[in-house]
Chain A
């Protein structure tokens, strides 16, 4: 059973302090165990595990982004991988420029793949990519702009439901094809990799990895707080109302398309941040991240965790990612069966996901307790 004090906290502030607290404790535990204990120690957490956790937290942030648009606004985006990858590429470009003349070809200006393609100078859209500030800007602006353009066109012409889902999928598919081309100037097939350091700190060092991990946890906490604030504001209620009946919202004077674009852009930016944090920890970004399958996997995180519940999205991402890691290590063949089966089972049997399932079981439990106590009371009354 969940301790009573946590339940009270839940009632008062919702899931916000619980989630932030859990994140804080995990980060602290992982960092201390990684840095303070030596490798032989039983309490030691390996750097590999730290990076793995960092990856999971990136996925959790991404799941949050998907949940914000799908769970609360009813927009099923099958293209959120595109925003994630764009954020990742923005970070990748910056890291690429940090390599400097330490590349295979030793060109101080151009990344290796451009030298390989016999390019003379950087393409215009690489301008400023060696600046950290510019990178931060691009991590937000790249996905945000794409979401704004796509969203304002789609929502203004009232494309919705399945049509929108398929269009988002087509969007990420087109981007994947585009990024596979060498001429695009993003490294083609191989993507961007062989990163050396970030802000002068080596990406290989344990400390940098811990800091990156902690930062990811921080961003996840901030993202959670932001989403929590949005969905609990009046705006969040308008968004929920749009999910339930878009035309009714329109007839009481709101412009659903504005709200949808806004929430879509916020969500895309969150996904972009997740991508940007993912790249330095994993060490590579390639066009495979745009593949429609990736985007759909994000949706399944949210579906399993429970859409329309922010902490559910996080749980879903963590559970599914962990299962994937285990499965692919033990029997890689079975993973797609498991994933496919999850899709079918969750939609058929668990439409509200884990977050919907657990409380309903708890409710039933409580109800049973209540019924029991009422019955006992009645029995006592009858006796007296």
Chain B
């Protein structure tokens, strides 16, 4: 399915996470502190293979920090993070983790503004990320088709030769999702995908994310409760750096503690 032919030096490209127990991501007893402030506090979380999981929580609950830990941007003080059963993510840097098959979309859309939409996707394609191969690299017909397919999915065919910096905010969000798709990761971490999107765009995003689940595992961080309700099968609530509750949307909504610390306030505000 995924073309992982690369140089043998880059072994993490050939990593297949061991998911015999049905779990693709293990986060166990992780703590992170910044200057005494505990951003994550003994947090444990398991993501099943092929699952679509929503993470919710108030500001400062530790959602983004958790993403940072999984993708290697932040090192936890203690704890264990592994991809499948055997791949220890704490030994790898961001690039290695990305090559191993964990993709991430940022809260603020970050695309390469001085490259065209097409080039943005080209760079994100799975494949050898070494210097020499890229110096003499030519796109194959297959890869061009793949990019075309993704452009269609994200609805940016017309803008393919436009500089990404000239796109609207929503289009940038889509482009970033497209870049995720191009990398064909096993696990997608999506941080606030619908911020700044119109209702119609939001609906399409929801469709896309649900269709991805199954083949990929998807973790979505979102503030928009309506959006979460529309896609979520399982929801995890974070509070002050640890897991407060976990379960289906209806379970969460009736959980008295969650209502007290999060939903209550949020719904009151909304």
Which residue numbers of A lie inside 8 Å of B, CB to CB?
A: 230, 233-235, 237-238, 240-241, 243-245, 247-256, 258-259, 262
Contacts and interface: CB of A to CB of B under 8 A. Distances in A.
Contacts of B95: 250-251, 253-256
A148 to B, nearest CB: 13
A233 B134 contact: yes
Task: Give the contact-size bracket for chain B.
Answer: 20 to 34
A192 B94 CA distance: 48
Nearest to B119: A237
A139 B232 CA distance: 62
B30 to A, nearest CB: 20
Interface stretch (B40-48, B121-129, B149-157): B121-129
Contacts of A259: 131
B51 to A, nearest CB: 22
Contacts of B111: 245, 248
B106 interface: yes
Interface in B94-137: 94-95, 98-99, 103-104, 106, 110-115, 119-120, 122-124, 126, 129-131, 134-137
Contact of B112 (A240, A253, A255): A240
Nearest to B182: A252
A272 to B, nearest CB: 20
B114 A251 contact: no
B110 A245 contact: yes
12 contacts: A234-B123, A234-B137, A235-B131, A235-B137, A237-B122, A238-B134, A248-B111, A251-B71, A251-B98, A251-B106, A253-B126, A255-B95
Given A234-B122, A259-B131, A262-B131, A244 B113 contact: yes
B112 A248 contact: yes
Interface of B: 71, 73, 93-95, 98-99, 103-104, 106, 110-115, 119-120, 122-124, 126, 129-131, 134-137, 179, 183
A245 to B, nearest CB: 5
Given A251-B104, A253-B99, A237 B183 contact: no
A238 B123 contact: yes
B115 A237 contact: yes
A208 to B, nearest CB: 36
Nearest to A241: B112
Contacts of B122: 234, 237
Nearest to A262: B131
B92 to A, nearest CB: 11
A243 B115 CA distance: 11
A81 B113 CA distance: 31
Contacts of B126: 253
A97 B145 CA distance: 61
A173 B130 CA distance: 34
B244 to A, nearest CB: 28
B191 to A, nearest CB: 11
A245 B137 contact: no
A271 B179 CA distance: 36
A353 to B, nearest CB: 15
Contacts of A245: 110-112
Contacts of A251: 71, 94-95, 98, 103-104, 106
A234 B133 CA distance: 9
Contacts of A241: 112, 115, 120, 123
Contacts of A253: 95, 98-99, 126, 129, 183
**Could you say which of A230, A245, A253, A259 has the most chain B C-beta atoms within 10 Å of its C-beta?**
A253
B112 A258 contact: no
A41 B114 CA distance: 52
Contacts of B73: 247
Contact of B114 (A240, A252, A258, A262): A240
A187 to B, nearest CB: 38
A245 B172 CA distance: 14
**Could you say which of B112, B115, B119 has the most chain A C-beta atoms within 10 Å of its C-beta?**
B112
Given A237-B115, A241-B115, A258 B131 contact: yes
A251 B191 CA distance: 14
